[in-house]
Structure formats: C-alpha cells, structure tokens
Chains A and B, each alone.
Chain A
Amino acid sequence: KNEVEQSPQNLTAQEGEFITINCSYSVGISALHWLQQHPGGGIVSLFMLSSGKKKHGRLIATINIQEKHSSLHITASHPRDSAVYICAVRSLRGGGADGLTFGKGTHLIIQP
C-alpha cells in the first residue's frame, strides 16, 4: 500500500466548478507538497505546507496533521487547470532524498 493515497484518480468537471482533490498519508511528515504536471511532462510546485492553509490565486491548500490529510481546492475552474495534480510528503523518518514519497496523481480535466 502506497504511503500516499490520492482521490479521486480521475476527475472531469465543467468550467467554473469548485474542485477538491484529496491526499491521505500514513506516516509522520515534516512537509507536504502539491505539484502540478501538465501534459508536456514538466512539474510545477504549487504549495509546500506543514500546517494550516495556504492560498495562491484560485488555488487553496489545507492540511490536517492530526488526521494525516490534505486537500487542494480550485475555485472558478478553467480549462487551463487541466493537469495531473500530485501530492508528495516529506517523511519525518527521513531516508533517501529526504524521505519524499509521491502519490499517483489526480488527472483533472476541465471542460469548457
């Protein structure tokens, strides 16, 4: 079982809808990353958080350390938001490359 589970795996929505992507993890962490991967393959870091909530434009990320859960929200979704969203956690136990473990990603399609 992967230490990082994302849901849903695939999500298709209409432009303007409010989007929520969830990430659950099973280990103690020092930080959680939300990443965005476009069809070309490149990955962009959206958020890095260890507590509370962060907002950037139409994107909001929240984390509940006690429940080992994080959510990524997109308000007023747009077709350009179509991408794969990846959750990654940095484990407290460390290990190779600072103990980073990645989820399989959520494939989001926003239709006009």
Chain B
Amino acid sequence: EADIYQTPRYLVIGTGKKITLECSQTMGHDKMYWYQQDPGMELHLIHYSYGVNSTEKGDLSSESTVSRIRTEHFPLTLESARPSHTSQYLCASSAGTGVAGELFFGEGSRLTVL
C-alpha cells in the first residue's frame, strides 16, 4: 500500500478563493509530481520536484504554484481559484528512474470552483 496522502479529497469553493492542496509521502522519495486530469482525459504534468527547494513547471501551463520545503511535503496553491481550475489533481512520487522508478499516487483531490 502506497504511503502518499492527499487532502482534501473533495473541495467545492467559490471564485476568487485561495486554496492549498496538500500532498505528503512517508517513503522518503526525492521525486514528487502534480498532475491535472479532466474527466475522460489523460494526466497532464503541471509541476514536479526532484528534491527539497527544487520545483519546476510541467508540460501543462498552470496558474498554481508549489513549494518543497521538506522532502515529504509538496503542497499546491491556487491564489485565486476560477471555474477553469475545476479538475482532479493527482500527486505522485517515485524514488528515481530505472528500477527505482515505480510511481506511487495519492487518492486525488477533486476541485470544483463555482
């Protein structure tokens, strides 16, 4: 069983609110990722981190920001949510590439912005 956790699982908020999606893993993985997934569509990378104080934007442009102050914690923040941000956000981690590249995913955070 994967030790990676996301909160909240579901969030419904109004436009303009600031939100933070939490992601924590207890496996000591250096690599962490945030993906955005719309219904019936593939996962798109929005942010990733290869370790503490390392963050990069992914392939899909996103107005969200991330931070990596501790190895186990990789929160995602939207300063001012809009209806276009309505989606599912999935956090993942891995120990590395090659044989250590197995991916572990959280349960996802389903965000609805009214």
Seen from chain A, the residues whose Cβ lies within 8 Å of a Cβ on chain B are 2, 4, 30-31, 33, 35, 40-45, 48, 86, 88, 90, 96-98, 100, 102-105
Using Cβ atoms and an 8 Å threshold, which residues of chain B touch A33? 102-103
Q: Which of A30, A40, A102 contacts B43 (CB 8 A)?
A: A102
Known contacts A96-B59, A105-B42; A42 and B105 CB within 8 A of each other: yes
* Cβ contact within 8 Å between A86 and B43: yes
Seen from chain B, the residues whose Cβ lies within 8 Å of a Cβ on chain A are 2, 31, 33, 40-45, 48, 56-59, 88, 90, 92, 97-98, 101-108, 110
* Cβ contact within 8 Å between A96 and B90: no
Name 14 A/B residue pairs within 8 A (Cβ), A-sorted.
A2-B42, A31-B97, A31-B98, A41-B88, A41-B90, A41-B110, A42-B107, A43-B105, A45-B104, A48-B101, A97-B31, A98-B101, A100-B33, A105-B42
